[in-house]
Amino acid sequence: MPVSIALAGKGGTGKTTVAGMLIKYLVKHQKTPVLAVDADSNANLNEVLGLEVSGTLSEAREEMKKGHVPTGMTKDVFMSMKFEQAVIEDKGYDLVVMGQPEGSGCYCAANTLLTGFLERLTKNYPYVVMDNEAGMEHISRLTTRNIDILLIVADTSRRGLQAGMRIDKLSKELSIGVGRSCLILNQSKDAPAPAVLKMLGEAGLELAGSIPEDETVYEFDLEGRATIELPEDNDAVKSAFDIFDKIIPKN
């Protein structure tokens, strides 16, 4: 079974950028191939990775629901073909984009095929990195489940920390099979204040580490450059790699 790592956090914390750094780390350490899953309806993990998206799983699901299956082709074969076409391949990792959520009507048959495809697909990868929607909707809908590591990305504001702790609490209340929850402080200007450590300690949420605010990361994002191409000697990348060294299994 693959090691599955899901990222969560409120909007604006740099969750997707951290997901890109994690994929960069896994490729560097030859824990490949990696399957990157963009489960955010506002998909932009492809921009972090510098990839063009030609199709999403939700688009395939919509086509099936609307009956756009060629004559003489079964729905199973059609969906399998469309899903395979949606996998974007790159060096060391592949990307699949979930796309928009369901529209009106029944999606039961299409969702069953989608779930089966994802289960078969993930078996081909030693690591799966899932970038989820901001907030807690993905957890309350149980789209994040059976996760080995849940990385909650937060900023250093009180609201950011509270959002991270709520995500951790909800994941435990729903019993969705999270092996380990860790919080990463992103875009940090200083070492975590005692008040921050106290809040996390009282909530029983592990602090994995901090990633500093970095001008180069900001410039890459502003210019639309793939942040996975950030140099390894960048301070933010080095801090992220130090965190991953502690939480990613060594084998």
Domains belonging to the chain, first-starting first, are 3-247 (3.40.50.300)
Q: Output the pLDDT for position 162.
A: 92
- Find the largest Cα–Cα distance for the chain: 66
Measured CA to CA, the distance from residue 190 to residue 147 in angstroms comes to 30
Measured CA to CA, the distance from residue 14 to residue 17 in angstroms comes to 5
The answer to whether the Cα torsion of 58, 36, 141, 186 is positive or negative is negative
List C-alpha distances in Å: 9 to 85, 98, 215, 239, 243. 30, 18, 22, 19, 17
Q: Output the pLDDT for position 107.
A: 43
Strands 34-38 and 127-131: parallel
Give the 3-state secondary structure of residue 3: strand
List C-alpha distances in Å: 50 to 7, 44, 86, 90, 220. 19, 10, 16, 10, 11
Tens of pLDDT along 123-182? 899 999 989 877 666 665 545 667 899 999 999 888 889 999 999 998 888 877 888 999
Query: What is the rounded (10 degree) CA torsion for 106, 109, 112, 113?
Result: -130
Give the 3-state secondary structure of residue 6: strand
Per-residue pLDDT tens, the chain, 251 aa: give them: 789 999 998 888 999 999 999 999 999 999 999 999 888 777 789 999 999 988 888 888 778 777 788 888 887 888 788 888 889 999 999 998 887 765 554 445 555 666 777 788 888 999 999 898 776 666 655 456 678 999 999 998 888 899 999 999 988 888 778 889 999 999 998 888 898 999 999 999 999 999 999 999 999 988 989 999 999 999 999 999 999 999 998 77
Q: Output the pLDDT for position 118.
A: 79
**What pTM was computed for the model?**
0.89
Q: Decide if 80 contacts 63 (C-beta within 8 A).
A: no
Q: Interhelix angle for 108-122 vs 75-86, to 10°? A: 50
Measured CA to CA, the distance from residue 188 to residue 56 in angstroms comes to 34
Q: Output the pLDDT for position 244.
A: 97
Give the 3-state secondary structure of residue 119: helix
